[in-house]
Structure 1
């Protein structure tokens, strides 16, 4: 391709020329701090979630730490119009996540407010969720949960305002008897996931598990 000659794909971290569908080179891939969490066992996220809401299983792909490569990857996905990174992260997740004989019934992504969605042009979780849905053969919903208020990015909020999530989300239709896998980009305080989970639990006899791209420990 002519574009590949004049505008070759480069590693997000070191700027080496790499294959068109790659995100980072092999050397930089080795620098990514993957969590290697077991979806069914206790881990940092499960311990934090249990303090806020009932949770079945939890998984995070990467550790989200200051100045590390995972932070740069998530930043590029969310703020640099690189939506396709979501597909790469989903493929990495697939390599590390085995539902065994206990697959969730539904994948649900955390929504953006319509104004934020228009500003960004895409929800950074949609392609990620859809890729997982196709591989695991689990249906997904991007509109089961509605964000009621427009607010600035969590990363720009102080800790006090991050805790003020009450009534931020509502459920658009009642579901019952479902095991929902709730998907977000970064786990920080867990309050966003807690607010959404309680809406899902109030809807019916449901269970909730959590999957995030990265966890900020």
Structure 2
């Protein structure tokens, strides 16, 4: 209680004091550009994925704008030690994503390399994924996919290097006949998601859907 008085939670956009469980104030929340995509129908993120690999369904929560509030939100999660932002984003997702009793079998998030995990202290997707898992009653597996090579953050790469296959992944266990919901933070070129999707698809008679926090527009 004393800490809340001395160090109150503030909106990451306008710095207004807000409830400890919030990320932005009501006024700034209205500035977030949610996609309003239908998970089961064609939408821009599904079309982009379809060009890279066979995808069942796809959903993006918000639009990632280089100078907008969405960028602050994602960077707050990834680079400012605010893991709880992942839970808030998951809560926003559950308000907007309905699986209509056609739940995927398993939630799988894009892994960090162990060195990157030690540096950051947490995987920015884990709490997000675990919150979704609890809400939808779908199991998750943080160990199914392994990142084999350490690389610098996507945000620090130019577009040419993002297109290169520098992120190499492997599947750590046998999996077949499953519908996997692959989860990532920002969909840019789709290279990372595509690399993992093909590993899952080639591992057995599996299907892949995609959920991202933000779609780069």
- Is TM > 0.5 for Structure 1 vs Structure 2? yes
Alpha-carbon distance between aligned partners in 2 of 1:156 and 1:200, rounded to the nearest angstrom: 27
Alpha-carbon distance between aligned partners in 2 of 1:57 and 1:172, rounded to the nearest angstrom: 24
8 Å Cα contact 2:151-2:167 kept in structure 1: no
Alpha-carbon distance between aligned partners in 2 of 1:17 and 1:65, rounded to the nearest angstrom: 24
8 Å Cα contact 1:113-1:148 kept in structure 2: yes
Q: Name 1:27's counterpart in structure 2.
A: 27
Alpha-carbon distance between aligned partners in 1 of 2:86 and 2:203, rounded to the nearest angstrom: 29
Aligned CA distance change for structure 1 residues 27 and 179 (closer, same or farther; 3 Å): same
Q: Tell me how large the CA RMSD over aligned residues is.
A: 0.9
Q: Name 2:190's counterpart in structure 1.
A: 190
Q: List structure 1 segments (4+ residues) > 6 angstroms apart after TM superposition.
A: none
Alpha-carbon distance between aligned partners in 2 of 1:11 and 1:60, rounded to the nearest angstrom: 23
Q: Name 2:150's counterpart in structure 1.
A: 150
Q: Name 1:102's counterpart in structure 2.
A: 102
Q: Name 2:130's counterpart in structure 1.
A: 130
What does 1:12-161 correspond to in 2, within 5 Å? Answer: 12-161=12-161
Q: Secondary structure at the match of 2:146?
A: strand
Alpha-carbon distance between aligned partners in 1 of 2:145 and 2:166, rounded to the nearest angstrom: 14
8 Å Cα contact 1:146-1:170 kept in structure 2: yes
Where does structure 2 lack aligned partners over 5 or more consecutive residues?
none
Q: Secondary structure at the match of 1:141?
A: coil
Alpha-carbon distance between aligned partners in 2 of 1:158 and 1:8, rounded to the nearest angstrom: 37
Where does structure 1 lack aligned partners over 5 or more consecutive residues?
none
Give the TM-score normalised by structure 1: 0.98
8 Å Cα contact 1:166-1:195 kept in structure 2: no
Aligned residues: 217
Q: Name 2:165's counterpart in structure 1.
A: 165
Q: Secondary structure at the match of 2:49?
A: helix
Q: Name 2:199's counterpart in structure 1.
A: 199
Deviation of the 1:174 alpha carbon: 1.4
Aligned CA distance change for structure 1 residues 166 and 74 (closer, same or farther; 3 Å): closer
More displaced, 42-51 or 157-166? 157-166
